[in-house]
Chain A
Amino acid sequence: MSSSDTLVATGNRAHSHGPGSPVPLQARSERPTSYDVADFAVPNGREEEWRFTPVKQLKALFEDAAGTETPKVDASGPEGVVFETVAADSLKVGKPQDRAAAVAWNHAGDAFAVRIPVEAELTEPVHVNVASLGARGFSHLIIESGRHSKAIVIIDHSGSGELGSNVEIVVGDGADLRVVSIQQGDHESIHLGQHDALVGRDARLHHVAVTLGGKVVRIGTNVRYAGPGGDAELLGVYFAESGQHHENRLFVDHEAANCKSNVLYKGALAGDHARSVWIGDVLIRAAAEGTDTFELNRNLVLTDGARADSVPNLEIETGEIEGAGHASATGRFDDEQLFYLQARGIPEDAARRLVVSGFFNDIIGKIGVPEVTEHLHEVIEDKLARTAELSESAKAVIGQ
């Protein structure tokens, strides 16, 4: 896949931000975190953590005031799972990393908790639906999996409002937890979310962020390890259309020894001002010997007028590791692939679908939750059909 600077500001250059960089380079671990909103100034867009984000559209979620609605949260799951309402500060695995998360933390009220009991193996996924219905609201979810339990939790965010959210995830020692967070708000919706996961000793977290709708969606996913032997697989799929901004920020903090992290995010962009941002920070601290980490981001730009930014960062404080690497690539839709498929008789629209579904094929295979992968296939098909209509009408206009 070719890379072009007109489409993309890629990473692998994290150590030289270049002229015009608004702030000095700061180690990821030194970035302030706080439960107090007053500790974060209202972002103006020049800050390192906000420079890719359209902050002007986010004023409502920066304001230190109660929400105008409470998002509707409902949940269902198989026998064994426990739902309850708990105080916001009952776990404190997460700590807000920016103003929006601090505002959400303070104004969401109590947290909604999903608990998977010790050694429980859930046969069906747990569903948590968070609907924000048109106003400004905040939510706080806690997912706590007990020692040696096994479960899948699907969080479905929908609606037309402006949502600030925090999700705290604890994976018990030896547990296997899959969390899929789907962001599929209406076209005008805004969602700023922070997910914090603490992975227990010899535990496995499989975290998937799927963003398919919303005007501005920015999800920060932070992973720490409570003990050695933890394994985090962090996957993401996004598809930004005209006027949509989809942003994912990862921070994997390796402090414990012999832990693994594997990050794979893939996104497609189509339409004018479709925008995606991916920031992948990995820190390997001095104590984290034996760490094995890799992160990869790929973007497929389907039409003119779209832009993908991708910045992987790796800070390494010990040489005693198994492996550490990152890669990032952004490419245009490859017309040679289209020609090759069409030259075998496959019509253009089917050929486009084949190429794009091929692009997402590996990551969708890794998600491993059939209802999610089926949904993804359907939504991607719909989006491609819309993209095809767009290019058809563009052709018609040119033809006149």
Chain B
Amino acid sequence: MATLEIRDLHVSVDTENGPKQILRGVDLTIAGGQTHAIMGPNGSGKSTLAYSIAGHPKYNVTSGTVTLDGEDVLDMSVDERARAGLFLAMQYPVEVPGVSVANFLRTAKTAIDGEAPKLRTWVKDVNKALADLDMDADFGTRNVNEGFSGGEKKRHEIVQLELLNPKVAILDETDSGLDIDALRIVSEGVNRFAAQGDKGVLLITHYTRILRYIKPDFVHVFVDGRVAEEGGPELAEELEANGYERFLKAGAK
């Protein structure tokens, strides 16, 4: 069982006016088999948490720890974190001109596994993953995310999730900008991943809509760079009814 442990995490970014603190002591434990939803208003630091765990160079960890099965994640390079079993489905997947999806997926799979996938099963796996996300097989010949619609980019992220099959998946607002059909298709992909039983899922979202398709075991409300409140699925229902107002007022005190 994989366990991602975040302890007292403080993160800042450099701005024109000097460093700006964004995360102010985040504590979170995601054990294998659990799905955690992080919800919060814009600017509360949800995406910063995701990118800090993945190791984006823009974010400076000023104190705290992140470990995956006891291994120090913060000491690893971005690619080492991925090879250790972390996966970040990005809110804004990046275009890589001239690099085909097929080449990209095979290169990533080879890097993660430490050996090239078996050609025969690999082609089958890729085609199945694409079909499961309702993407044509000819996506393999297209350049990574280039000319993809917003929905196609998000579905491509979930194709990667299923093929690379990490220990812990962090989904950064994967639901934003999706129509209801795409949301359902993407959610089914995440549910297939989670159904393996030993996987951790950290679902970051602004809206409660996706939680109708992906059932979280825990809900954390993020305000002003830390977890303001935690609970079960019922907390999401409360947010659905009342929004973030209660937490924003509390944060303003």
Interface residue count on the B side (C-beta < 8 Å): 29
Give Cα A123 to B18, complex, Å: 65
Interface residues of A in 319-361 (CB under 8 A from B): 334-337, 339-348, 350-351, 354-355, 357-361
> Which A residue's beta carbon lies closest to that of B98?
A358
Judging by beta carbons under 8 Å apart, are A345 and B79 in contact? yes
**At the interface with chain A, which of B105-113, B121-129, B229-237?**
B105-113
Contact indicator per residue, chain B 78-89, by CB within 8 Å of chain A (1) or not (0):
110111000110
Judging by beta carbons under 8 Å apart, are B83 and A345 in contact? yes
Judging by beta carbons under 8 Å apart, are A345 and B112 in contact? yes
Tell me if A's interface is mostly helix, strand, loop or mixed. Answer: helix
A362 located at the interface, meaning its Cβ lies under 8 Å from any Cβ of chain B in the complex: yes
Judging by beta carbons under 8 Å apart, are A343 and B54 in contact? yes
Which listed residue (B87, B99, B160) contacts A355, Cβ 8 A? Answer: B99
Judging by beta carbons under 8 Å apart, are A351 and B79 in contact? yes
CB distance from A336 to the nearest CB of B (A): 5
Known: A339-B56, A339-B57. A347 touches B79 (CB 8 A): yes
Looking at B57, B83, B96, the one whose CB has the most chain A CB atoms below 10 A away is B96
Judging by beta carbons under 8 Å apart, are B143 and A336 in contact? no
B94 located at the interface, meaning its Cβ lies under 8 Å from any Cβ of chain A in the complex: yes
Residues on B with C-beta less than 8 A from A347 are 79, 111
> Which A residue's beta carbon lies closest to that of B94?
A340
Residues on B with C-beta less than 8 A from A355 are 96, 99
B185 located at the interface, meaning its Cβ lies under 8 Å from any Cβ of chain A in the complex: no
Judging by beta carbons under 8 Å apart, are A344 and B160 in contact? yes
Judging by beta carbons under 8 Å apart, are A337 and B96 in contact? yes
Looking at A344, A355, A357, A360, the one whose CB has the most chain B CB atoms below 10 A away is A344
Contact indicator per residue, chain A 357-371, by CB within 8 Å of chain B (1) or not (0):
111111000000000
Judging by beta carbons under 8 Å apart, are B94 and A361 in contact? no
Contact indicator per residue, chain B 55-71, by CB within 8 Å of chain A (1) or not (0):
11100000000000000
Known: A344-B108, A345-B83, A345-B111. A339 touches B78 (CB 8 A): yes
Residues on A with C-beta less than 8 A from B160 are 344
Residues on A with C-beta less than 8 A from B82 are 342-345
CB distance from A346 to the nearest CB of B (A): 5
CB distance from B88 to the nearest CB of A (A): 6
CB distance from B220 to the nearest CB of A (A): 23
Which listed residue (A334, A335, A346, A357) contacts B98, Cβ 8 A? Answer: A357
B102 located at the interface, meaning its Cβ lies under 8 Å from any Cβ of chain A in the complex: no
Residues on A with C-beta less than 8 A from B164 are 344-345
CB distance from A100 to the nearest CB of B (A): 35
Judging by beta carbons under 8 Å apart, are A346 and B97 in contact? no
Looking at B57, B77, B99, the one whose CB has the most chain A CB atoms below 10 A away is B99
> Which B residue's beta carbon lies closest to that of A355?
B96
Judging by beta carbons under 8 Å apart, are B54 and A354 in contact? no
B74 located at the interface, meaning its Cβ lies under 8 Å from any Cβ of chain A in the complex: no
Judging by beta carbons under 8 Å apart, are A337 and B94 in contact? yes
Judging by beta carbons under 8 Å apart, are A335 and B57 in contact? yes
Known: A340-B93, A344-B108, A346-B107. A358 touches B143 (CB 8 A): yes
Give Cα A361 to B54, complex, Å: 29
Which listed residue (B77, B83, B94, B96) contacts A348, Cβ 8 A? Answer: B77
Give Cα A354 to B55, complex, Å: 20
CB distance from A2 to the nearest CB of B (A): 13
CB distance from B123 to the nearest CB of A (A): 19
Judging by beta carbons under 8 Å apart, are B99 and A358 in contact? yes
Looking at B55, B97, B143, the one whose CB has the most chain A CB atoms below 10 A away is B97
Interface residues of B in 105-143 (CB under 8 A from A): 107-108, 111-112, 143
Judging by beta carbons under 8 Å apart, are A339 and B94 in contact? yes
Which listed residue (B55, B79, B95) contacts A346, Cβ 8 A? Answer: B79
Residues on A with C-beta less than 8 A from B108 are 341, 344-346
Give Cα A238 to B79, complex, Å: 30
> Which B residue's beta carbon lies closest to that of A361?
B98
Residues on A with C-beta less than 8 A from B228 are none
CB distance from B140 to the nearest CB of A (A): 15
CB distance from B156 to the nearest CB of A (A): 11
Which listed residue (B81, B96, B98, B107) contacts A340, Cβ 8 A? Answer: B96
Judging by beta carbons under 8 Å apart, are B94 and A336 in contact? yes
Which listed residue (A341, A343, A348) contacts B88, Cβ 8 A? Answer: A343
Residues on B with C-beta less than 8 A from A337 are 94-96
Residues on A with C-beta less than 8 A from B94 are 334, 336-337, 339-340
> Which A residue's beta carbon lies closest to that of B88?
A343
Known: A343-B88, A344-B108, A345-B164. A362 touches B79 (CB 8 A): no
Give Cα A192 to B83, complex, Å: 49
Please list the residues of chain B having a beta carbon within 8 angstroms of any beta carbon in chain A: 54-57, 77-79, 81-83, 87-88, 90, 93-99, 103-104, 107-108, 111-112, 143, 160, 164
The 3 A-B pairs of least Cβ separation, nearest first, read: A358-B98, A361-B98, A345-B82
Please list the residues of chain A having a beta carbon within 8 angstroms of any beta carbon in chain B: 334-337, 339-348, 350-351, 354-355, 357-362
A-B contact pairs, 24 of them (CB 8 A): A335-B57, A336-B94, A339-B57, A341-B108, A342-B82, A343-B82, A344-B82, A344-B104, A344-B160, A344-B164, A345-B79, A345-B82, A345-B108, A345-B164, A346-B108, A347-B79, A348-B79, A354-B96, A354-B107, A355-B96, A355-B99, A357-B98, A358-B96, A359-B98
Starting from the known contacts A345-B108, A361-B99, 14 additional A-B residue pairs (CB-CB under 8 Å) come to A339-B94, A340-B94, A341-B108, A343-B55, A343-B78, A345-B112, A346-B107, A351-B79, A354-B103, A355-B99, A357-B98, A358-B143, A359-B98, A361-B97
